[in-house]
Structure 1
Amino acid sequence: MTVELVRGQNHPLPGTRLEVRVSAGGPVVAGVTLDDGGGRLCGADRFAHPGSPRLPGVEVPRQAAAEHRLAVDLEALPAGAHRVNVLLALPTGAGGPLSFGALPAPRAAVTTADGTGIAGYTVAGLGSESAVVAVELYLRQGVWKVRAVGQGYAGGLAAMLEDQGLPRARELAAAVQEAVARRAARSVAPPRTADTADSRRAVPAGSTGRPGPAPEPAAPAVPPPAAGRPGGPQAVRAAARPADGTGAVDYRHPRRTPAVPPPPPPAAPPSGPGEGTAPVAGDAPGWSTQERLYNQVWGMFEDLARTAAAYRSAVDFADSRLEREVDRVLADPRTRVGPAADGARARARARREALVDRARAVLDRDLAQLTAESEVVEPALPPAFARWDSPVWHAYRVPAERPMALRLGDLSLPEPGAPRIPLLVRLPLERGLWIDAGRSRSSASPADPRALRRSAGELATAVVGRLLAVHPAGGLAVHLLDPAGAGSPALAPLVDSGVLREPPATGPGGVAPVIDRLIRRVDLVQMAARTGALDSLPPDVDPAEQLLVVHDFPHGFDDRAVTRLRYLADEGPSVGVHLMMVADREDARGYGPVLDPLWRALLRITPVPEDHLADPWVGHAWTYEPSLVPPGSRILSRVLERVAEARGRHGR
């Protein structure tokens, strides 16, 4: 439970790897200074800020935003650092608030690295101050604590740094604000909307502040996306725009607000990615290289969603304006026909084409930047995130610990030139998977139903193989149910490599015992967790994660077995039991409403490309492309052989 602090109050910290989560009613600059035992700041090398965001044990965001996550590892701080001061300052520039009194009170919350709340402090009572020391983490008699400070400075960041004894504080404060302004100029401009629905944060930790599409004149504000877990976007109402199209395209993520208004758009948008800045793999906040890459990939996904939404909205606006202008010409009988009417219609069409061309130029620029970033990031991805044709698999070694996420495939949009973005899902899986073996809407779907079923089995094998490869030796036990025996060819790599602890269960009589064992494990672990007796589980309860793969469902299943599958799908993930179905829903239509909850509980993926996934921001229909082993490649078999060897060495 998070302890709510008042000014001056302190609270002990239970660990040393922490996050400080900052939220404010508008964009703020976040920074950290490190003091010695006497409260002295030794120099600029003890100040983490957007222009220099990393110090040993500390990382801060690179851009002004309404929400921040600051990573702190107290054990990794430089020698002699006994105090971590969390600083907030308003960015300078025209159009922004001049003081915290014009904004809702900022809040700083200290959490563990996994997000468990420790203490929070709302910095109330600010007026003319434009900079504030929100909280401090300090070492006292060998114990780290957090204290609510709330010390504000009307003189801004420079006055705050001067008060902390930093040499050349004003020059450094000016450099920080300049760095913030440079990044803001490459970010997304705020939308001009009359009303915006509130949204929950759905992006990964530390992914705020990425470069995004620049403003473009003469198009409507795109409704800001409603973030959240998969589901439909919340409704928003766009503000009315001038009929003549004056103004600028304004579009932003609801949690990413730039520090200063963007500069006027250039006469000719640059054709290359970035503005002289080359993309870098892992250029995102995080505790490790893996987390940085994960955050960067999801940031690319957001950027592509937003820039495509901005372009589509610009085209819609141009079309609607053309329609209005033509309607005005036709509404007056005196101007409906004749040279004047023809000229008015031609001018309206020319204005429409000009708007679309300018929006397309901005889209092309942003897609080029994302493509360049994708070309840098893709080769740097570890096996859990990489495609099967990546060279990283040739140097594969069984990991010592499970990664934070897994690649299930790729996502893309129909805009020409749009890059493919890896679809990464967190581990352990929060939802099971339904690999659809039925006929899809895609024209790429094979005409032969048997070929589609075979492709679904191959995708299941690739996903299971990747899951086994990214877990430590013996960390995942896979159970295969293939009552009809139809999956033997597709599942052969799993069977032949020896990674399975038992052969696939076939026939109706083989289904029930496997499901019963897994349900017993779920029940025992849940009871042990409720009573705090996890150490006293029976010796036959496997501590490893469990994955049940059901091939060619519903063959071999009755109503009772379907109900028990539903129980595993609902209750299993919380105790390490996961479900993967390889099935055609049409084949199981006889179960009617009994099957619907199971279908909704699982994430549907397809063995052929299909545009059935919607993002939680703006509801784009994303085309999912499965992550399959290249035809003729033996990489999956070699990886599984190494998994089996490692399991044999560990006796699992």
Structure 2
Amino acid sequence: MTAELVRGQNHPLSEARLEIRVSAGTPVVAAATLSDESGRIHGVEWVAHPGAPTLPGVEVSRQAAADHRLAVDLDAVAETVHRVSVLLALPTGVGGPVDFGSLAAPVVAVTGLDGTEVAGFTLTGLGPESAVVALELYRRQGAWKVRAIGQGYAGGLADLLTDQGLAQAHRLASAINEAVAQGVARSVPAPPSRTADGDRSRQTTASALGPDQAASPYGGQGAQTASDPYQGSQGNPVPQGAADAVASYSTGPADPSATTQPGTPAASGTGGPVDYSHPRRRNTAPAPPPAAPPAEPGRPAQPVAGDATGWSMDERLYNQVWGMFEDLARSTAAYRSAVDFADTRMDRELDEVLSDPRSRIGGQGDAARESARAKHAQLVDQARQVLDRDLAHLAAEADVVEPALPPAYARWDNPAWHAYRVPMEMPMALRLGDLHLPESDRLRIPMLIRLPLERGLWIDSGRTGSPDGSFLDSHELRRLALDSAVAHTARLLAVHPADEFTVHVLDPAGSGAQAFAPLVHSGVLAAPPAMGAAGVADILTRLTEHVDLVQMAVRGGAADSLPPDFDTAHQLLVVNDFPHGFDDRAVTRLRYLADEGPAVGVHLMLVADREDAAGYGPLLDPLWRGLMRLTPVPEDHLADPWVGHAWTYEPALLPPGSQVLQQVLAQVAEARRLWRK
């Protein structure tokens, strides 16, 4: 049975050898890109197009045509390839239409070699776009699936390839269009030559990426190619719209074993092999992820914790959580799109009934209305069944993943905290709470943010649009915000080695004495919380000088010349009740720390109600925008970069009556005491 997909919907593939058939009604260029798990292309050698139509496991047409058949053998693609994206573009310089909006909607179908259609997708809703990612084949838990994408680009192939991380996007797009215009298949110029074998300092490296690049909802460095060895990508999701935290989910994992040409070893300019080992990691390939237990016939494979790629179990779990977040976002987008389509079709059919005076009354009109409503209910029910199927798979995966998470990723009630020991190195990421959507209220996705922090945190103690906060008075909201800040601070202390994280607290009015008590009594703070205007000025002055000194040392290449007693640990400044106790000079210094501090290891956590600082007007707008806003109560203020869902954020709360915070802080304090000896 053929699956008719809507944008964002996926469907499992039971065969490895497939054909992808394109029917556009006018000549289009068909191409395919191979990419890693984060969706990034490692070089022009990862693109099949009319000038280079064949890659391991993929073959595309050599010319523009109204109909195409692309051959795919998923067993033949390299293990480093996790996505095969099918691209369509209108050729330039040969006349004809300039955008898809003036054409009938193209149709893409995935078929078996016998012609049996597995899934189809009609690319509706296109307008000024001249290039589009039609669909993608992707690996998930050891199996392949097809997902309908339909993402268009008004800037054509160049913008599309740039969005997928290809450094040579404009040059490749020009070469493809030139080959099509001349009616011949011509090779695309090779990327710039690599460095000599004797100079390994500028050769390719690859590192795991993170979902805080909305958000994501995870961030990090991008995979780098030999032609541009220092190219990287940083990012926030996840999320934007309120791109705040999910910006942590923005990019995904890159395969450290990837080569420039998928499936084949790269060659240097002198003909010898290039050493692609990561300078900061072991040179052996990562161990394969744990295998899922064999599935019973007719049943889906059972999920396994850590089945994503990575050098360690922590990295695999991080990448797996990012994949769960993306799957939930796209499954929900497909459901909403299907419901919107059903609503639109029912409205159109009802309008047609009402537009004919003869059918407005009587049995004929009633029958037409009932038919339209029945079709609507059927479409919505089918979409909900697909969503429920996807949610069941994700819920089963979450049930397996959550107990396996290490302390940095785990909820406070996870047993992992009972076996906590102060780590020897900083983890990849930190859990700040959970994310969920209205259609899947019981399914929670951990919100992980990459470390070290790239943005400061703002715990909003003011009134929000959350129903949970509407029944609380301002005093209770401030208390909850401060408790949340203390929990985040404790978690940051717990996941860093004893000598690599220093915490300063500003509490000008002393209103947070009770909340800060666990940090004070355990002895994990650099000094007691500073109070009054003098205390504010003192700490801000010292941290500003800290930032200035590190910046000068780094820019002058004299990082080893810092004073012997200089604290090289990451610094966290927790500010309560901002802007109480701050004068204009202090506000200026705080803004400086927020802007310049993260790059040199000085981070900010602000507990504040924005209304309290309204007197500063737009002066503080850059400060608020530069911080990741978190709330002490659940609120749907985060958005992902893919489909713009409003995600509900829930803070990571300590279980009532739990002593886990005190136990963890006691171990941190003891480790710091032993380190100072």
Match of 2:574 among 526, 545, 549: 549
Match of 1:231 among 236, 240, 243: 240
CA distance in 2, matches of 1:509, 1:301: 45
What's 1:450 paired with?
475
What's 1:187 paired with?
145
What's 2:513 paired with?
488
CA distance in 2, matches of 1:108, 1:421: 25
The reply to whether residue 93 of structure 1 matches residue 18 of structure 2 is: yes
CA distance in 2, matches of 1:193, 1:276: 29
What's 2:340 paired with?
316
Aligned-pair CA distance for 1:334: 1.6
The within-5 A match list for 1:113-512 is 129=54, 131=56, 187-191=145-149, 198=160, 200=163, 205=209, 230-232=239-241, 275-416=299-440, 418-445=442-469, 446-512=471-537
Match of 2:660 among 635, 641, 644: 635
The 8 Å contact of residues 507 and 556 in structure 1, kept in 2 or not, is answered as yes
Aligned-pair CA distance for 1:631: 1.3
CA distance in 1, matches of 2:365, 2:649: 47
CA distance in 2, matches of 1:635, 1:436: 25
What's 2:554 paired with?
529
Match of 1:538 among 563, 571, 594: 563
Aligned-pair CA distance for 1:399: 0.2
Change (3 A) 1:492 1:351: same
What's 2:258 paired with?
none
Change (3 A) 1:426 1:533: same
Structure 1 residue runs of 5 or longer lacking an equivalent are 1-62, 65-89, 134-153, 162-173, 175-179, 208-225, 235-252, 256-271
The 8 Å contact of residues 206 and 285 in structure 1, kept in 2 or not, is answered as no
Aligned-pair CA distance for 1:187: 2.4
AA aligned to 2:17 is T
Change (3 A) 1:531 1:585: same
Q: Percent identity?
A: 60
Change (3 A) 1:328 1:310: same
CA distance in 2, matches of 1:534, 1:181: 44
Change (3 A) 1:156 1:631: closer
After superposition, the C-alpha distances for 1:13-45 in whole angstroms (9 at most, x for unaligned) are xxxxxxxxxxxxxxxxxxxxxxxxxxxxxxxxx
CA RMSD after TM alignment: 4.0
Structure 2 residue runs of 5 or longer lacking an equivalent are 1-11, 23-27, 59-70, 79-112, 114-136, 166-206, 212-234, 244-250, 254-295
AA aligned to 1:620 is H
AA aligned to 2:240 is G
What's 1:585 paired with?
610
Change (3 A) 1:231 1:637: same
The 8 Å contact of residues 237 and 641 in structure 2, kept in 1 or not, is answered as yes
The 8 Å contact of residues 105 and 126 in structure 1, kept in 2 or not, is answered as no
Aligned-pair CA distance for 1:126: 5.6
After superposition, the C-alpha distances for 1:504-554 in whole angstroms (9 at most, x for unaligned) are 000111001101111111111111111110000123421000000001111
Superposition TM-score, scaled by structure 1 size: 0.65
The within-5 A match list for 1:6-21 is none
CA distance in 2, matches of 1:485, 1:346: 66
CA distance in 1, matches of 2:642, 2:17: 29
Change (3 A) 1:611 1:93: same
Aligned-pair CA distance for 1:439: 1.2
The 8 Å contact of residues 17 and 74 in structure 2, kept in 1 or not, is answered as no
Change (3 A) 1:531 1:596: same
Superposition TM-score, scaled by structure 2 size: 0.63
- The aligned length equals 470
CA distance in 2, matches of 1:381, 1:580: 25
Aligned-pair CA distance for 1:314: 0.8
CA distance in 1, matches of 2:633, 2:462: 11
The 8 Å contact of residues 409 and 422 in structure 1, kept in 2 or not, is answered as yes
What's 1:598 paired with?
623
Aligned-pair CA distance for 1:451: 1.1
Q: Helix, strand or coil: the match of 2:459?
A: strand
The 8 Å contact of residues 280 and 376 in structure 1, kept in 2 or not, is answered as yes
CA distance in 2, matches of 1:186, 1:608: 39
The 8 Å contact of residues 437 and 456 in structure 1, kept in 2 or not, is answered as yes
